Structure 1
Amino acid sequence: MKTHNNFDEQFEFGGKARTWSLVAIVIGVVAIALGFLTGNVERTFANLLLMAYYTTCVSLAGAFFCAVQYVTQSGWSAAILRVPHAFIRILPIPAIILIVVVVAGLTMTHTITNHEGQEVVAPYLYKIWGAHDVTKEGSEHFDALIAGKSGFLNIGFFLARVVGFLAAYILLSRLFVKYSTNEDELAGMSNYDKSFKLACVFLVIFGFTIPVFAFDVIMSLEAHWFSTMFGWYNFAALWVTGLATMTLIIIYLRSQGYLSWVTQDHLHNLGQLMFGFSVFWTYLWFAQFLLTWYANIPEETAYFYKRWEPEFKPWFWFSIVINFLTPLLVLMARDFKRSTAILKTACIIIICGHWFDYFQMIMPGTVEHYHEWYSAVLWIEVGTFIGFAGMFAFLVLNALTKFKALAPKNHPFLQESLHHHI
């Protein structure tokens, strides 16, 4: 950027970033195709669900970030709002991919052996409640517990909820971008006031529905189990991975000469949020695990017992180490949060760490047993992750080029943000 306050310069997406993101997408497509062609259909569906849910959650974090900043009338973040705005702009794409994966996983079936040794026709995803005749009284496959939940867990209502929630998030969050870009053109407080009111509505809707969204997409994979903490546990993962991804993109933009007005003080704030919500995630992880353990409720302890089987137990403990101890030690010191290199490392650790977190949520209830624990993460997992990461990077950086400026130049708190110091 030519001057410190040159807010009119647009982002240009090209060079190595564009090339490598496209290469990553190709790697992902090849890995997914090979997964289906080599007979690893169930495992490929599980990985598609994992990454579609992950990228949707990270995109949603952009909308939540904007809403929180408007409701709290925060000034420090005004200078970096274009990055979460880009997350909002791309949200429809991972949301549509997630819906396609869920629908395909529910409608495509195969024969499996259930826990009672019976062969049943079941979908590739949500096999416990989506299997044929599990709610039909008198059937040899009848499951009384699932039948009791069938008013909520039935395909029609399930898909209506998933699609309805995502549509509401997309429609509401896109108004944040609309009002902000209108603000650039018209100035004044009118659009900021609209954003404030919108944020209040969005947070109420988001707060009540995001736990149900997590219950539907992830927890219902193991429909015999239930935890009222699971929705907030997922929210904590959504928020901290979104913060890490935003921070990583901001660091990249600064390294390319953009966002020159963003200082170490802004990055420090983002580091504080990542540190704090990594601890919050750990609190929910520990509470969900410990309460289930000492309550000794068989239908709930089965969830964790499965994750203590040999092929998952090392990843179970690795997840808590990488998602709690590592961010705690890396981001605890003030100087560490003000070091771009250390902060970038912390972001990468958190992004990869919460992939393992989602892996632990999805794989044990979706994929048949692996031979060894180290065979649970192989080329399908790595290739799918790379593909979705490349897609996300490409979409976000391309979305940034659509803004006339990388700063909301008529935001009422922009000057406060430019002079932010802690």
Structure 2
Amino acid sequence: MKTHNSFDEQYQFTGKVKTWSLIAIVIGVVTILAGFLTGHQQRTFSNLLLMGYYFTCVCTAGVMFCAIQYAAQAGWSASILRIPQAFGRVLPIAAVILIIIVVAGLSMTHTVNVDGKEHVEPYLYARWASKDLTVKGSGIYDAVIAGKSGYLNVGFFLARIIGFLAIYSLFGWLLQKYSMSEDELGGMKFYNKSFVASAVFLVLFGFTVPVFAFDSIMSLEARWFSTMFGWYNLAALWVSGLSAMTLVIIYLRKAGYLPWVTENHLHNMGLFMFAFSVFWTYLWFAQFLLTWYANIPEEAAYFYRRWEPDFKVWFWLNIVINFGAPLLVLMSRDSKRYVGTLKVMCIILLCGHWLDYFQMIAPGTIAPHEHWYWGVISWVEPGVFIGFAGLFTYLLLSTLSRFKSLIPKNHPFLEESLHHHI
């Protein structure tokens, strides 16, 4: 156990957590292979997209966290910035994995029977990427999708996703690089660079992250659209990222690291988790209420599918977990300062937003005629989740172990963070 307060101490990634993360990765790989080999390719691709997107969003939240702290010139968070910086360093790997999943899902095809006629469609984004949809006389020609083909075509689609992820990864790398240089050389030069980079990132991120959500997730059901969907996804990204960062901080403190992190820092993290869970709920309810009130068929179809008997329980459980749990638990001051309660809430919210992404993705990727109906959670879902959780843990803690220090020693607001009290 490391208990002494040293700013030069490095994290050592060894022991049970390393072993278990590797075991989890093996479980995930075996599950993915079994899914493909047992004829459940569609469900496997659905779960790969879900976890690839989730993995990427959590890592992106680390870059967003750093940028907000620098742009706001916040002092309380200076001593914990290494954790979100590590998230940003893992982002390029998460981005590559997501791109590979998307490309494979668009490239690999299978044959489906529609009204007695066979058509070839990809495993992912079949609602717009199937060639027959834009071919008149094909039997499944869709004039709406054909009208969107200038935007929803494979080349432009991939260019957007790759471009967005490259931008986010670049700024994550820059913020970490400037912080490392600040440690070595001191002064205000690199802090000022971090401030400028953060301001630029937040502007770019604010305009592009809704489009990233539209492309990655909303286009799975290309006839449906919602102007709130991008912000709804941003709220889920932010709450998930905050929960993951808090969980890592709690783990490091338990392992004897970060002795300067107190219940006051954890209180702030819990406060953000609570506040943005309420914000997520506001967007969830607003999107649902406007669709219900207007009752326009092409909009209501999205929620109608999620109200079918096999899936309705997940629809309501989603709001109970992601709103009810943090509302009842994290509202009080003490719960945000008690490590055990905060740890449990982080795990609940991470699982809750997995369910949130599941009900966004599954109806547009798993056809009802598959062996398992799409509303049933099978052995594929937990297996792929465990695999990606292990991969994230392994990559993140490996990155943390390469930092020379777990604290930005020359951050101009470090003393404020070390004496933070609320």
Same fold (TM over 0.5): yes
CA shift for structure 1 position 3: 3.2
Task: Check the 8 A contact 1:310/1:373 in 2, yes or no.
Answer: no
Q: Bigger shift: 278-287 or 369-378? A: 369-378
Task: Please tell me whether residue 261 in structure 1 is matched to residue 260 in structure 2.
Answer: yes
Alpha-carbon distance in 2 for matches of 1:100, 1:141: 28
Report the TM-score, using the length of structure 2 for normalisation.
0.97
Between Structure 1 and Structure 2, how many residues are aligned?
A: 420
Name the residue aligned to 1:3: 4
- What CA deviation, in whole Å up to 9, does each residue of 1:79-106 have, x standing for no partner? 0000001101111111111001100101
Report the TM-score, using the length of structure 1 for normalisation.
0.97
The 5-angstrom pairing of residues 119-158 of structure 1 reads 119-158=118-157
CA shift for structure 1 position 371: 7.3
Task: Check the 8 A contact 2:3/2:259 in 1, yes or no.
Answer: no
- Structure 2: state its 5+ residue gaps: none
> SS in structure 2 opposite 1:91?
helix
The 5-angstrom pairing of residues 374-413 of structure 1 reads 376-413=376-413
> SS in structure 1 opposite 2:121?
strand
Aligned amino acid, residue 312 of structure 1: F
Over the residues paired in the alignment, what is the CA RMSD in angstroms? Answer: 1.3
Alpha-carbon distance in 1 for matches of 2:135, 2:118: 16
The 5-angstrom pairing of residues 234-249 of structure 1 reads 234-249=233-248
The 5-angstrom pairing of residues 16-95 of structure 1 reads 16-95=16-95
CA shift for structure 1 position 133: 2.2
- What CA deviation, in whole Å up to 9, does each residue of 1:8-44 have, x standing for no partner? 0000000000000000000000000000000000000
Alpha-carbon distance in 2 for matches of 1:314, 1:371: 20
Task: Check the 8 A contact 1:312/1:364 in 2, yes or no.
Answer: no
> SS in structure 2 opposite 1:376?
coil
- What CA deviation, in whole Å up to 9, does each residue of 1:61-120 have, x standing for no partner? 000000000000000000000000110111111111100110010111111245x66532
CA shift for structure 1 position 379: 1.0
Alpha-carbon distance in 1 for matches of 2:171, 2:331: 35
Name the residue aligned to 1:216: 215
Alpha-carbon distance in 1 for matches of 2:90, 2:333: 33
Alpha-carbon distance in 1 for matches of 2:36, 2:373: 22
Alpha-carbon distance in 2 for matches of 1:161, 1:117: 36
1:2 to 1:324, Cα distance in 2 relative to 1, 3 A: closer
Question: Percent identity over the alignment?
Answer: 66
1:213 to 1:374, Cα distance in 2 relative to 1, 3 A: closer
- Structure 1: state its 5+ residue gaps: none
Alpha-carbon distance in 1 for matches of 2:45, 2:346: 27
Alpha-carbon distance in 1 for matches of 2:297, 2:305: 12
Name the residue aligned to 1:343: 342
CA shift for structure 1 position 2: 4.6
> SS in structure 1 opposite 2:20?
helix
CA shift for structure 1 position 166: 0.5
Alpha-carbon distance in 2 for matches of 1:330, 1:26: 35
Aligned amino acid, residue 26 of structure 1: V
> SS in structure 1 opposite 2:402?
coil
1:22 to 1:172, Cα distance in 2 relative to 1, 3 A: same
> SS in structure 1 opposite 2:310?
coil
> SS in structure 2 opposite 1:199?
helix
CA shift for structure 1 position 171: 1.1
> SS in structure 2 opposite 1:311?
helix
Aligned amino acid, residue 217 of structure 1: S
